[in-house]
Amino acid sequence: MIRRGVAAVALGLISLTACVATPESKPVAQQRESVVALNVAEIDDLGPVVTDVKGFTLYRFDGDRPNESTCAGECAATWPPATVADENFTVNGVPRNLVGSIVRKDGSRQLTVDGMPQYRFAKDGKPGETKGQGLQGKWFATGRNGERTRLAARTGVVAGLGAVLTNDAGLTLYRFDGDKPGESTCDGGCAETWPPVYVEGEQPRVKGVDPKLLGTITRKDGRKQLTVANWAQYTFKNDTKPGEAKGVTVPKWFATAADGKKAQQNKAIALTSATVKDLGVVATDKDGMTLYRFDDDSANPPTSNCSGECAVQWPPAFVDEGFQVQGVDPSLVGTIERDGRKQLTIAGLPQYLFSGDKVCGDANGQGVGGKWWATRADGSRAGQ
């Protein structure tokens, strides 16, 4: 979804080819008969981002350097440079002193914001889409002041803990009992083991987290660190992938729950919710695997029409007696009898996993056959 912040007027995985031009950096020239090359739009969860004249999201690449593009060849086919015909252009919503241009090897003139070259993503099919956000951990939509629009926090799932906060890469966030509210005491070697979660831009960007819980503190190096419920947030250097929370074994350190409190061990949790890719907050099982609903099933009465080979590809989400729910309204949750076991239902519809999902956060079953959809926490179809 896109909400215009400024009126628009006029602009896989990939292999990267390092082909660095020797660019010429030019400031924006204010001239008559100029066209608008950049605008700003409000994108859900990301806030104000820079767009081209047609409203398509613009991105910056961590592999570039100020006033130097390293994206050419196949890379530039996937990430088309945002170009202008000449220096006779203006901008809306972006500080003029931050906007410039460089001349690429092919002679085209590419826009820069705060020195960083700007690109579109070829798979963004309409204004407001951000399918390139976070790809390879190096591509990010460009904020109003040229910063990366990297999420400071979103929700994830850790087995036995349920819903926890994570960073943009899905790594668990922690809070430290040695801190005080609004104050971090973790510096030096401590901060090397427990890297602070830094905030880029004016305000923390989050998905699936109550913004009222969020804040920042300024560390000794002048950078802003995220706080949740007034407690400074960190990652743990030994966590290497989503779903890990190795730091909870360290005295005084706790994974941060979605409400900012200390996440507590609860192995009875069978249903929770997490932020999954661009689908927002969806229902997951205890291991963070995405749950799906099937259009051929019925909610009243709750009935599954997926069996045989279908149930091999879409395994039913079974639960045990006395299971607990977190992050989903319990009044929406039920079960149906199936092969002597209990299959989970949300808003009456049976729930399934997808055999093509391999790790928590995958949603490869989304839209399969035009009938399978990730389940939102309220039971509705995600992405619709």
Arithmetic mean of pLDDT, 346-351? 97
Residue 30 has pLDDT above 60, yes or no: no
pTM of the predicted model, to two decimals?
0.62
Tokens 């203006």 locate to 90
Question: What pLDDT sits at residue 227?
Answer: 96
Give percent of the chain above pLDDT 90. Answer: 66
Tokens 């560390």 locate to 219
Does residue 5 sit in helix, strand or coil? coil
Question: What pLDDT sits at residue 115?
Answer: 96
* 355 compared with 149, residue with greater pLDDT: 355
Query: What digits encode the pLDDT tens for the residues 157-182?
Result: 888 888 899 988 889 999 999 999 99
- Calpha distance 21→41 (Å, rounded): 30
Which residues, other chains included, contact 313 with Cβ-Cβ below 8 Å and sequence gap of 6+? 354, 355, 356
- Calpha distance 281→362 (Å, rounded): 13
Contact 277, 363 (CB under 8 A): yes
Question: What pLDDT sits at residue 44?
Answer: 74
Does residue 216 sit in helix, strand or coil? strand
Question: What pLDDT sits at residue 208?
Answer: 75
- DSSP secondary structure code for residue 77 in this structure: H
User: CA nearest 280: which of 290, 269, 268?
Assistant: 290
* 329 compared with 160, residue with greater pLDDT: 329
Residue 188 has pLDDT above 80, yes or no: yes
* 100 compared with 327, residue with greater pLDDT: 100
Sheet (strand 153-158) strand order: 162-166, 153-158, 206-207
Give the chain's end-to-end CA distance (angstroms, integer).
11
- Calpha distance 292→356 (Å, rounded): 12
Using alpha carbons, list the distances in angstroms from residue 38 to 150, 205, 252, 267, 277.
20, 22, 48, 50, 27
Residue 39 has pLDDT above 80, yes or no: yes
Arithmetic mean of pLDDT, 256-262? 91
Question: What pLDDT sits at residue 62?
Answer: 95
pLDDT band at 34 (very low <50, low <70, confident <90, very high): low
Give percent of the chain above pLDDT 70. Answer: 91
Q: What angle do CA 99, 104, 110 make, to 5 degrees?
A: 30
Residue 12 has pLDDT above 50, yes or no: no
Using alpha carbons, list the distances in angstroms from residue 303 to 291, 300, 346, 350.
16, 8, 12, 7
Query: What digits encode the pLDDT tens for the residues 208-240?
Result: 788 889 999 999 999 999 999 999 999 999 999
Residue 283 has pLDDT above 90, yes or no: yes
Question: What pLDDT sits at residue 21?
Answer: 38
Question: What pLDDT sits at residue 313?
Answer: 97
Question: What pLDDT sits at residue 7?
Answer: 37
User: CA nearest 324: which of 283, 264, 268?
Assistant: 268
User: CA nearest 208: which of 142, 94, 267, 284?
Assistant: 284
Residue 22 has pLDDT above 70, yes or no: no
* 9 compared with 167, residue with greater pLDDT: 167
Contact 218, 169 (CB under 8 A): no
Question: What is the pLDDT of the chain when averaged over all its residues?
Answer: 88
User: CA nearest 62: which of 75, 48, 77?
Assistant: 75
Contact 133, 140 (CB under 8 A): yes
User: CA nearest 146: which of 224, 60, 70, 65?
Assistant: 60
